[in-house]
Structure 1
Amino acid sequence: MSLKILFLVGCGGFLGAILRVLITTYSFKAFGSNFPYGTMIVNVLGGFLIGVFMSVAVKLSPELRSFLIPGFLGGLTTFSTFSYENLEMMMKGDLALAFVNIFLSVGLALLACYLGMLIFRQF
């Protein structure tokens, strides 16, 4: 792996992480803190975008693929925060809310990934 690829992954991750913070901050202000909407939004968006990017990956340069997929999407999406937020809800006794979040987040991200692939497969 070249230094150039590692640098591009880092740049993509930087931008993805900034977008994640902006989305989660805005969703907190818009929807409140009773449910982790921001984490769900970034993970579903990431699911859609990985479907899009993987559909056109053969047409992308290795540099752009590295920037977008492990870089940008790696910075945008967050499995660790998703795990923590669900565990926190469970520990507070909000089991139903945690399971709704798990089901919706995973289900919507898979559906979004499928739709991204379906829509962009023709390109």
Structure 2
Amino acid sequence: MIRVTLPYPPARRPPPAGGDTDLRLSPAYRRWCERAGSRIQPSATPIAGPFRLSIALRRRSVRDDLDQRAKAVLACLEHHGVIRDANLCAQLCLHWNAGLPAACIVLLEAGEGAP
């Protein structure tokens, strides 16, 4: 099992009007991903099969959107070579936790099924 403590992830920006589906990464997301990457222990080989991911966040505002934070974490794990592809996520657990010692704690485990 891999455990990573990350800074609070940004929300993914919605695609622009007009049907353009390319993900345009904001400068804020790029800075966050760079900071988060410094906390991720590089893996010799990325997880190339199904995996389970649990993300706990310390909520900053009642307006925060939980699933948008998950997309940023998955993209970052893929970008830094921890997972081969975010679409291999077989199970995703997200929750707010006011008592966390960090803004975001990620648990990642290779394989399908319940942890």
**What TM-score, normalized by structure 2, do the two folds share?**
0.31
Give the strand-richer structure, 1 or 2.
2
Q: Which has the higher helix share?
A: 1
Rg larger in 1 or in 2? 1
